Amino acid sequence: MHLYSQDGEPVYKVPYADKKRGLRDATLRDAKKLGLFPSVTEILKILDKPGLNNWLQDRVLESALTLPRDKGEADADYMKRIKQDSKELSLLARDEGTRIHDALESVFKGRTVDRKYRSIAENVKREVCDYFGVEDGWVAEESFAHSLGYGGKVDLSHRVFDVVIDFKTKEELKPQMAFDEHIMQLTAYRHGLRMPVAVPVNVFVDYDGNVVIHEWNDDKGEITRGWEMFKTCLNLWQLQKRYNPVELVEAA
């Protein structure tokens, strides 16, 4: 579980009770014990995600169509293997997206980029810098904690040009890729960074390094709506989990 301290520091892992065992993933129980803030992405997990669900179903179908059935294999055993195979396909896709994200962080921080992803990272940086007309001053992976009781880490921001960016990796780019969840995340980020009027932008990147930049605007009230939706999700999350870290802060 991705959690943040009240100072905005990431707390993704905590020590075992027996400290000789090292660290383990943080849990909701740890959050309640330590007064930690859930991340924006943790909060948005309460939403149904039709696009993701459809993608996962496609992976199951793909495995079912390509995985040979063993002679005499029981239905239950075959279905179990199909599920395991589709899970492995999903993890491969997730890991590829993570590696591209890491490369983008590195290129904007001026660090060495894995050779396999260097051209992708450099192309994305060039596209972003050309789009906004600025090469310097970008801040990658800045973390925060907000007084409403949530935290996060933002892919990219620029305080002078007042821009907040979130990268989304895709196997392939499609005509429609920006949805409510994206603007909810971005409005939460810009308030978290104390940049309440920053331009929220999604940068979609496929596995070949092609880029689509989607700049949100409030002509139809989309940004305002996104912030209100996020606050509603935050309230629902706190009620579902029976945990509001703000109450602990105020009581301290």
- pLDDT in the model for residue 200: 97
Domain count, the chain: 1
Q: What SS3 class is residue 176?
A: coil
Q: Look up the CATH number of the domain holding residue 164.
A: 3.90.320
Give the orientation angle of helix 75-109 with respect to helix 50-66, to 10 degrees: 130
- pLDDT in the model for residue 56: 66
Residue 210 lies in a domain: yes
Give the orientation angle of helix 75-109 with respect to helix 115-132, to 10 degrees: 60
* Cβ atoms of residues 182 and 199 within 8 Å: no
Residue 86 lies in a domain: no
* Cβ atoms of residues 186 and 216 within 8 Å: yes
| pLDDT beneath 50, residues of the chain | none
Residue 96 lies in a domain: no
- pLDDT in the model for residue 95: 80
Residue 8 lies in a domain: yes
Over residues 1-37, the pLDDT tens digits come to 899 999 999 999 999 888 888 999 999 999 999 999 9
- pLDDT in the model for residue 251: 56
pTM beyond cutoff 0.75: yes
- pLDDT in the model for residue 96: 85
Residue 61 lies in a domain: no
* Cβ atoms of residues 13 and 36 within 8 Å: no
Tokens representing 220 are 């139809």
Instruction: Give the residue numbers spanning the domain of 170.
Output: 3-55+115-251
Residue 177 lies in a domain: yes
Over residues 114-130, the pLDDT tens digits come to 999 999 999 999 999 99
Parallel, antiparallel, or unpaired for β 150-158 and 163-170? antiparallel
Residue 72 lies in a domain: no
Residue 69 lies in a domain: no
Distances (CA, A) of 251 to 8, 31, 174, 245: 19, 16, 48, 10
